[in-house]
Amino acid sequence: MPVTRLADLIDPAQCPCLVVKVGSSLLVGRDGLRREWIGGLVDEIAACRKRGQSVIIVSSGAIALGAARLGLEKGGRGSLADAQAAASVGQIALSGLWADLLDRHGLPAAQLLLTLDDLEDRRRYLNATATLGRLLDAGAVPVINENDSVATQEIRFGDNDRLAARVAQAVQAGAVLLLSDVDGLYDRDPADPAATLVREVRGVTGEIKAMASGTSGSGMGSGGMTSKLQAAEIADLAGVALAIVNGTNDMPIARAVDQDIGTLFLPPEGRRRRDAARKAWLGGRMKLKGELVVDAGAAKALLAGSSLLAAGITAVSGAFKRGDPVGIVDSQGGLLAHGLSEYDSDECERLMGRHSRDHEALLGYAPRSAVVHRNQLVLR
Ligand code: GLU
């Protein structure tokens, strides 16, 4: 069952994996990191883990924190060079604190610094998602930020709202929770006494966009409501729910859920849309680069939701690289699925029909778990 209300965000049955994004203004105060508040949030995250949810943290704050340490003006956002220098100073303290606080609950923190390219380029996307998947399976809590120190303008997300939504799409999370310094989306400027909180949004329409003012209230992050709505659009397309709630109170997750205060964006058509979106993304604008012919056993396993293993492949056609989209066809040439190949075509030829235990010797390096992982394929 997908998420349909705020309370579902902390229910492992509705939301097995939750992405929590924390904005700069919540993490960094006048005297540096807001340790106590962050400690309270980590208690809440640990409680989610106890209930059986996987949690991914997307943490801002590196630039704001580093700028304070280096004494840079405009919160380190005066120039790209300032932001990059500030981020590299701030990131150390930031990840150190998350690691320390999570460790108190026996939870290993795992730092990932990503750029837009890491999620847009299919080969790197496969690496990033495989690493995230493995970390979650192993019980770690990934703490993600943009790799601001090296990301130039062209390869930047620029805001962690969209980064969080793309991460959620990549790991097929149940929901994204954006902790902000406002209660959610208001139907007009929140300073207007007539403004009311919008509780639920089905589809980010022009009318919804017109409600956002576009500036970051705190002036610290680069977020603001506009980037949150862009994040909601990404989540919508991926079939992932997204909530904006106020993080300024202690125990913000419990407050939002118990009092049902926040804005919940739900994908317009539920589950079917998720598959359609994944299909579009996996196929992208690119044509399929090749084909993998599979035997009846593999075809049956695929239809039952399994990954494609090399043992079931009987022929390979086309010249493709790792990360390229390929068609998976049955012995009569009927298209069963398409997905991203974990191997180049010549490697697929070497591996086809062979059992996984032989792969390392055939490749000369540690093999991947499948030729097309089930998370990276869409049935036709
Ligand atoms: N990556 C930035 C930082 O760590 C934050 C981006 C944002 O404000 O959303 O400071």
Nearest to 247 by CA among 45, 3, 13: 45
Spatial separation of the C-alpha atoms in residues 55 and 377, rounded to whole Å: 24
Tokens of 252: 């913000």
Mean of the per-residue pLDDT values of the chain = 90
Does residue 123 register a pLDDT over 90?
no
What's the CA dihedral at 300, 306, 307, 312 to 10 degrees? -30
Report whether residue 222 contacts ligand 1, using a CB cutoff of 6 Å.
yes
Q: Which pLDDT tens digit goes with each residue over 280-329?
A: 666 554 578 999 999 999 999 999 989 999 999 999 999 999 988 899 99
CA distances from 20 to 57, 274, 291, 322 (A): 5, 20, 38, 31
Name the pTM for this structure: 0.85
Report whether residue 147 contacts ligand 1, using a CB cutoff of 6 Å.
no
Report whether residue 224 contacts ligand 1, using a CB cutoff of 6 Å.
no
Buried b (16+ CB within 10 A) or exposed e, 260-290: ebbbbbbbeeeeeebeebbbebbbeeeebbb
Spatial separation of the C-alpha atoms in residues 242 and 263, rounded to whole Å: 8
Count the Cβ atoms, other than its own, within 10 Å of residue 360: 11
Nearest to 143 by CA among 22, 10, 50: 22
- Residue 288 zone, left/alpha/beta (φ > 0; ψ -120 to 50; rest): beta
Residue whose token pair is 């203004």: 25
What phi and psi values does residue 114 have, to the nearest 5 degrees? Answer: -115, 155
C-alpha 63 to ligand 1 mean position (Å): 6
Q: Which pLDDT tens digit goes with each residue over 172-188?
A: 899 999 999 889 999 98
- Residue 321 zone, left/alpha/beta (φ > 0; ψ -120 to 50; rest): beta
C-alpha 92 to ligand 1 mean position (Å): 14
C-alpha 325 to ligand 1 mean position (Å): 32
Amino acid at 91: Q
Does residue 273 register a pLDDT over 80?
no
Give kind and range of the element (H or E) at residue 29.
strand 28-29
> Which comes out higher in pLDDT, residue 50 or 206?
50
Cα Rg of the chain, angstroms = 22
Spatial separation of the C-alpha atoms in residues 136 and 139, rounded to whole Å: 5
Tokens of 300: 């049956």
Query: What ligand 1 atom has the least distance to the C-alpha of 220?
Result: 8
CA distances from 147 to 87, 114, 144 (A): 8, 5, 9
Tell the residue nearest (CA) to atom 8 of ligand 1: 221
Q: What is the structure's pLDDT at 184?
A: 94
* Full DSSP string of 274-296: HHHHHHHHHHTTSPP--EEEE-H
Domains of the chain: 6-277 (3.40.1160.10), 288-379 (2.30.130.10)
286 half-sphere exposure, CB direction, 13 A CA radius: 18
Report whether residue 145 contacts ligand 1, using a CB cutoff of 6 Å.
yes
Q: What is the structure's pLDDT at 215?
A: 47
Q: What is the structure's pLDDT at 66?
A: 96
100 half-sphere exposure, CB direction, 13 A CA radius: 10
Spatial separation of the C-alpha atoms in residues 371 and 367, rounded to whole Å: 9
Averaged pLDDT for residues 263-287: 66
C-alpha 223 to ligand 1 mean position (Å): 8
Tell the residue nearest (CA) to atom 5 of ligand 1: 60
> Which comes out higher in pLDDT, residue 39 or 195?
39
Tokens of 101: 């606080």
Q: Which pLDDT tens digit goes with each residue over 190-220?
A: 888 898 999 999 989 888 988 886 444 555 5
Report whether residue 60 contacts ligand 1, using a CB cutoff of 6 Å.
yes
